Amino acid sequence: MLKVDSDEENKEITRRYRGLLRSAERSKSTQDRRRIRKAFDIALEAHKDMRRKSGEPYIYHPIAVARICSEEIGLDTTSIVCALLHDTVEDTYITLDDINNLFGAKERMIIDGLTKISGVFDQTTSAQAENFRKMLLTLSDDIRVILIKIADRLHNMRTLDHMRPDKQLKIASETLFMYAPLAHRLGLYNIKTELEDLSLKYTEPEQYYEIAEKLDKTKAVRTRFVNKFASPIRRALESEGINFDIKGRTKSIFSIWNKMQKKKVRFEDIYDVFAIRIIIDIPMESEKSEAWKVYSIVTDFYQPNPDRLRDWISIPKANGYESLHTTVMSPTGKWVEVQIRSKRMDEVAEKGFAAHWKYKGDNDSAENNLDDWLAQIREVLESNDGDALSFIDDFKLNLFSEEIYIFTPNGELKTLPKGATSLDFAFSIHSQVGSQCIGAKVNHKLVPLSHELSSGDQVEIILSKKQTPKEDWLNYVVTAKAKSKIKQVLKEEKKKIAADGKDILRRKFKSLGVSFLSINITEMEKHYDMESATELYYQIAKGKIDLKKLKGYSVDGGRISCKKVKGPAPNPSSTKYIAPVPGKKDALLIGDESQQMDYTLARCCNPIPGDDVFGFVTVNGEIKIHRVNCPNATQLLSNYAYRVIKARWASKDAEQFEVGVNFTGIDDVGLVHKITNIISSDMHVNMKAISFESLDGIFEGAVRVLVHDTEHLNTLIEKLKNVNGVLTVDRTEPGQI
Ligand code: MN
């Protein structure tokens, strides 16, 4: 047992409490002080017999967390109160009702949120993920929950030395997995950096200490370099009468380590271990012009790399970051990054969005950004009832990715992660817009849903009421919002189809005298190797499981047994060849004999004539046609190669020929859709290429289509001429584009 001098300890507690009060700049009023005192007294009493792993009085922890909230994040009195009480409900006799009676409903709600998301240490990855989701849910109620939670985690990381090594590892990796990305997204740059560095210290101790040592050894050289580099800039800024501060900022140990891993280089090969930061003291209204003035001075002395100019002053990052970055060539031939920003921007960059409170302006775009983000999270969370782990994967993508800036047709700005497609953009406007999206115009040119957007693109979405999300859409969206919405719709659709399958099975069981009981369903699931009953019903409804075979299985006292009577694996060569369906267009040639057989087109990839395809013999001997680039193709081809047969479209090039059609018209909402609809749905004509261009209300378009003959072509042209708004339709003559 530890010997403690309780007098000394009480003095230390008081000292730490006073330190907290000094740091609480925003809580100066008597009323604020009284609330903090009350929370402190309650927490002190509640935790009085508890000690931390280090042997210290437990109250040191809540005081430290409260101090991080006030000093490092800049939070208000309510947050300090809740931080002081954050472990009381979970670990002591204090109840949520007590909190409600002593403080109020707001405090109760925040502490409830904090209590719900605690206890993450000894859980599996998926439980952690579920926890993380819960945390984000409470975050959408009150952002302070998450900020206090981050402060709590930071203090635990700072005092991690006293934990058991296995717990250290677990907590450190969890911090890297969830808390650092969140801190990043909330703009808490300093905290994010510290969390990452501390995590690395426990997950990769050798490399951590090696980098730390090398940074320390090279410090003097760096300082000399920075001074020399900065001195002409200093003189010029001084003669301009600008108030400024120049410092060299070293990269964090974690980001150096990360770069060494990613680029497979040594510490000595990283050229941008540090950046030069110029902070100007300037009123908010002249920040932008002054920043550019400084830029101009810097580039008078050093040649800038035009590819490395970043203007986050005109368009701040989604987490509120504002700064002007340029990379210039130093006299020693080294590239050096120079960051130019105002004092306000610097504070926001390091402390995150809470620092905005201090500078609240009329058009506080950073706060709006955060509101948008919170609204988006809420929407994703509410529409997501499924697998927490895959949700976290989707979500994390959005926390760390680089951003691109996209404009709507009326000039509104949207921020999307890098790699986002036109479909992501549609979902970012509204999930309904995403679900009905059939295409997009990027800078007035028609593009497919999968088109990857670049910063500065102007995007207009084309909709159709008949459109619904498709499985392969998941291959070309990157945002969590789009992914979760598409998955949700697909799941609902699957559920509906599965309900039909359940009815079919129920009827079949009845006719065979089998009871519709879970024991029999499980038997079927096992026999057909299905993941779940829903999957089984779904496959039945889709006709992929042939229930006729059930007749061959033994039924005894209402129970079915599938064991011995396994159906033989289908053999393509013995499959009956069926004559082509009369009048069916675009027939396929299947197998070596190029005979025509009955087939259905796979729903997962919707093959159309012209696609490279293959046939797949299903369990009940039916032939499904898949595209070679179908998302399921690799799996089918590699696992069931014996069931695959060759297939190609019967309609040869000789029977169809490619021809161009040009048209002009008056630009009108939905016109493009009407035209493409006539071509592909009404006429079943295959389009090879399509382009539209619109100028001052007049649009010009060109398509390349495959037709059987001139009669076919003329019918198409007549139909297009009848569309409202279309002025001319002509066959493209040779030489014309
Ligand atoms: Mn705690």
**pLDDT for 209-248, tens place per residue?**
999 999 999 999 889 999 999 999 999 999 999 999 999 9
Ranked by mean pLDDT, the top range of 248-262, 344-358, 446-460, 512-526 is: 248-262
Q: Ligand 1 centre from 34 Cα, in Å?
A: 23
Residue with tokens 């989701």: 133
Q: Residue 154 pLDDT > 90, yes or no?
A: yes
Question: Between the CA of residue 555 and those of 198, 522, 523, 533, what are the distances in Å?
Answer: 63, 15, 12, 20
Cα–Cα nearest to 341, from 355, 329, 362, 357: 355
From 12, 91, 372, 452, active-site residue: 91
From 90, 371, 655, 658, active-site residue: 90
Question: Between the CA of residue 691 and those of 88, 445, 663, 707, what are the distances in Å?
Answer: 65, 7, 11, 18
Question: Between the CA of residue 501 and those of 209, 531, 554, what are the distances in Å?
Answer: 61, 15, 22
Q: Ligand 1 centre from 96 Cα, in Å?
A: 16
Q: Where are the domains of the chain?
A: 6-202, 488-562, 575-649, 657-732
Catalytic annotation on 337?
A: no
Q: Residue 293 pLDDT > 90, yes or no?
A: yes
Q: How many CA atoms lie within 13 A of 270 on its CB side?
A: 25
Q: Residue 39 pLDDT > 90, yes or no?
A: yes
Mean pLDDT in the chain? Answer: 80
CATH class for domain 6-202? mainly alpha
Which pLDDT belongs to residue 565?
42
Q: Ligand 1 centre from 86 Cα, in Å?
A: 6
pLDDT-based confidence at 465, cuts 50/70/90? confident
Tokens read off for 230: 């900065």
Q: Is 714 helix (H, G, I), strand (E, B) or coil?
A: helix
Which pLDDT belongs to residue 169?
85
Residues whose CB falls within 8 Å of the CB of residue 617, separated by 6 or more in sequence, listed in order? 570, 572, 575, 623, 643, 644, 645
Ligand 1 ion local residues (Cβ < 5 A): 87, 152
Question: What beta strand segments (E) does 443-587 contain?
Answer: 445-447, 459-463, 554-556, 559-561
User: Cα–Cα distance between 88 and 726 in angstroms, integer?
Assistant: 72
Catalytic annotation on 98?
A: no
Residues whose CB falls within 8 Å of the CB of residue 273, separated by 6 or more in sequence, listed in order? 215, 218, 222, 250, 251, 256
Q: Ligand 1 centre from 179 Cα, in Å?
A: 14
DSSP-derived secondary structure letter, 150: H
Q: Where are the alpha helices (DSSP H) in 186-252?
A: 189-203, 205-217, 219-239
Contact 302, 330 (CB under 8 A): yes
**Ordered DSSP codes for 334-376:** -EEEEEEEEHHHHHHHHH-GGGGGGG--SS-HHHHHHHHHHHH
**pLDDT for 166-186, tens place per residue?**
888 888 887 887 788 888 877
Which overall architecture, per CATH, does domain 657-732 show? Answer: 2-Layer Sandwich (3.30)
Please classify residue 587 by burial: count the beta carbons closer than 10 Å to its beta carbon, then call 0-12 exposed, 13-18 middle and 19+ buried: middle
Q: Which of 49-58, 114-123, 173-182, 447-456 has the lowest mean pLDDT?
A: 114-123
Distance of CA 457 to the CA centre of its chain: 20
User: Cα–Cα distance between 259 and 263 in angstroms, integer?
Assistant: 6
Q: Residue type for 499, please?
A: A
DSSP-derived secondary structure letter, 407: E
Which pLDDT belongs to residue 508?
86
Q: Ligand 1 centre from 249 Cα, in Å?
A: 32
Q: Ligand 1 centre from 94 Cα, in Å?
A: 15
Rounded average pLDDT over 479-493: 87
Which pLDDT belongs to residue 374?
58
Cα–Cα nearest to 554, from 520, 531, 604, 602: 520
Which pLDDT belongs to residue 84?
96
Ranked by mean pLDDT, the top range of 497-506, 590-599, 619-628, 634-643 is: 497-506
Q: Ligand 1 centre from 466 Cα, in Å?
A: 52
Which pLDDT belongs to residue 16?
95
User: Cα–Cα distance between 425 and 648 in angstroms, integer?
Assistant: 36
Q: Is 416 helix (H, G, I), strand (E, B) or coil?
A: strand
pLDDT-based confidence at 613, cuts 50/70/90? confident
Q: Which of 28-37, 59-68, 552-561 has the lowest mean pLDDT?
A: 552-561
Distance of CA 107 to the CA centre of its chain: 31
